[in-house]
Amino acid sequence: MDRLKELPSALVWDIFQELSSIPRASGNEAAVASWIASYASSHGCASRIDETGNVLVIAKSSEGCQNVPPLAFQAHMDMVAVRDETCRHDFSSDPLDLSIQEIDGEPFVTADGTTLGADDGIGIALALAIMTDDEIRHGPLEALFTVGEETSMAGISGFPGGMLGSKMMINIDSEADDTVTAGAAGGSDAEFSCVLECAGELKPSALKIEISGLTGGHSGIEIHCGRANAIVTLARAARRLMEKIPLELTSFDGGTFRNAIPTSAAMVLAGRDEDIRSAAAALSSIAGELASEFRETDPGIDLRWEQVKPSPSADHEQSRRIVGAFASLPDGVFSMNDEFPDTVQSSSNLGLVRTESGRIVATALMRSLVTTDPIKEIMKTHAGEYGLDLNFSGDYPCWKPSSYSPLLKIYEKVYAENCFAKPRVAVLHAGVECGILKGKYPDMDIISIGPNIIGAHTTGERVSVPSVEKIYGLLLEVLEELMDGAA
Ligand SMILES: [Zn+2]
């Protein structure tokens, strides 16, 4: 690591090495928090640890810079703890084993056998290096280092409002140095449920229909790709059958996480022997139609059916209603944003359905850059029409993007002047810490940047040395620009 001592950002690497010697898997951040607090104090900064375990560091302005508008940095202290199968690293006690790896002439810092935790240790190192370096002139600076970002976002959620004096914040937890993130969607869960009224006698036959092999994906990243949703698609197939055949619903299960586009689902339908035979015959042509409908997006789509032992089922009328509700539930992209190109504004993903103790429960995750309220209204109408109960929970606020953000303008300017190109401006459709912070500090002007990190959350994680230099330089330019603006 000695080669790093000669770089302008040498202090960043010193701090990063110190951080890497302190175990800091999610849930185990107390030691790193106290190291940061004491490092900050011994370098003339104020620091405090809040009740949740987050650290707030405050650096006074350099002499003559009191009128410069205050700026906050933000990063998370915890890291994903993954090691190679053969690696004996103990994440509760061992320091990471850092080394430099050259790939196509580009130096990267990596950790042998484990995740590196550049996500997001490098964000902390960049912020602390700038705040504690006497050579760097700046206005008032704050830095918020959170716990639990990789698991529950408990740190940022527990961080109190009214603590930060800054109206501008740079989150340093992005992983591509040519990109600046300027917004992210908020979200909310919609849970549909109903009791299956299985009062009648057992039907003589039953058919289990399974759909599988779908492409799936992350509902915050791939919702615009037009991929089939296994739950909705299976419900459509079943509804087709039930239009002509008096089948009854026994169970409906599918999906794994509410934020994943479901790739498989299964439904059991009961009926008379002749109805089950007609259903099986009709499914052959439905399978062919689905294969052709989703040829591009879901080439692996597979619809299968088999006779199974009958179990209690709801009557045909209720079965039709339930299946109809999921077959026609609005799902996927609701609207696109017109300020930022190719950016989804709002969407919903029906990610899970389960039949448990005679109840069907299904959860959709709704996302929006502005508010999920319009989707909630659509869901309420839909649930009402089909006689389903509906509950909303898990609201988290959006980080509404604005192309008029003064901080974004400053970053775009310094980026263009120093890199001779425009940064890519990204708006995420998934939840991030900035969104939760924005809920507590609605007037905060936020951007998110970071150096190139490859393979985050894997043992191949590495961070590019020149890219850290680039981000360090750009952060210094932002500080300069703020001082120029105040002069
Ligand atoms: Zn991160």
User: Separation of 265 CA from ligand 1 center, angstroms?
Assistant: 32
Give the separation between CA 65 and CA 43, rounded to whole angstroms: 19
Q: How confident is the model at residue 385, as a pLDDT? A: 97
DSSP state of 79: B
The rounded mean pLDDT for the chain is 96
User: Which of 142, 149, 175, 461 is labelled catalytic?
Assistant: 149
What pLDDT score does 4 carry? 87
Any idea what DSSP says for residue 61?
P
**CATH, domain range 186-396:** 3.30.70.360
Active-site hit among 78, 253, 275, 412: 78
149 Cα: distance to centroid of ligand 1 (angstroms):
7
Q: Residue ranges per domain, the chain?
A: 2-184+399-486, 186-396
Spell out the residues 6+ positions from residue 82 whose beta carbon is closer than 8 angstroms to its own: 114, 115, 457, 458, 459
Q: In which residue are the tokens 């030691």 written?
A: 31
Class level of CATH domain 2-184+399-486: alpha beta
Q: Which two tokens stand for residue 360?
A: 């069907």
Q: How far apart are CA 3 and CA 286, in angstroms?
A: 64
Contact 173, 79 (CB under 8 A): no
Q: Which of 109, 111, 86 is nearest to 97 (CA)?
A: 111
Distance 485 CA to ligand 1 centre (A): 31
pLDDT digits (tens, 9 = 90+) for 416-441: 999 999 999 999 998 899 999 999 99
Which residue in 232, 229, 233, 310 sits closest to 268, CA to CA?
Answer: 310
Task: Decide if 78 is catalytic.
Answer: yes
Taking alpha carbons only, the member of 191, 391, 349, 378 closest to residue 257 is: 349
The alpha carbon of 257 and the centre of ligand 1 are apart by a number of angstroms equal to 21
Please give the distance, rounded to the nearest whole angstrom, from the Cα atom of residue 76 to the centre of ligand 1.
Answer: 7
Spell 320-350 as b/e; 16+ CB within 10 A means b: bbbbbbbbebbbbbbeebeebeebbbbbbbb
Rounded to the nearest whole angstrom, what is the distance from the C-alpha of residue 80 to the centroid of ligand 1? Answer: 9
**Is residue 333 pLDDT above 90, yes or no?**
yes
Could you give the C-alpha distances from 88 to 82, 84, 114, 117, 415, in angstroms and in order? 11, 8, 10, 17, 42
What's the token pair of residue 158? 């527990």
CB neighbours of 72 closer than 8 A, spacing ≥ 6? Answer: 141, 142, 143, 144, 164, 166, 168, 169, 170, 444
Half-sphere exposure of 345 (CA within 13 A, CB side): 14
Classify 413 as helix, strand or coil: helix
Whether 130 shows a pLDDT value over 90: the answer reads yes
The upper half-sphere exposure of residue 14, i.e. CA atoms within 13 Å in the direction of its Cβ, equals 13
Distance CA 60, CA 99 (A): 35
The rounded Å distance from CA 112 to ligand 1 centre is: 20
> Rounded to the nearest 5 degrees, what angle is found at the Cα of 443, between the Cα atoms of 133 and 398?
105
Query: Which pLDDT band, with edges at 50, 70 and 90, does 123 fall under?
Result: very high
Residue 457 to residues 117, 180, 433: CA-CA distances in angstroms?
A: 8, 21, 17
pLDDT (mean) for 334-355: 94
How remote is the CA of residue 161 from the centroid of ligand 1, in Å?
22
Give 284-327 pLDDT, tens digit per residue: 999 999 999 999 999 999 999 999 999 999 999 999 999 999 99
Q: Which amino acid is at 183?
A: G
| Global pTM value | 0.86
Residue 197 has a pLDDT of 94
Task: Quote the pLDDT of residue 236.
Answer: 98
Q: What is the pLDDT of residue 244?
A: 94
Q: Find all residues with CB under 8 Å of 457, minimum gap 6, and list them.
A: 80, 82, 115, 119, 150
| pLDDT the model gives residue 487 | 77
Give the three-state DSSP class for 73: strand
* Cβ neighbours for 404, distance < 8 A, ≥ 6 positions apart: none
**Are 271 and 247 within 8 A, CB to CB?**
yes
3 to each of 113, 190, 396, 466, how far by Cα in Å? Answer: 22, 53, 44, 12
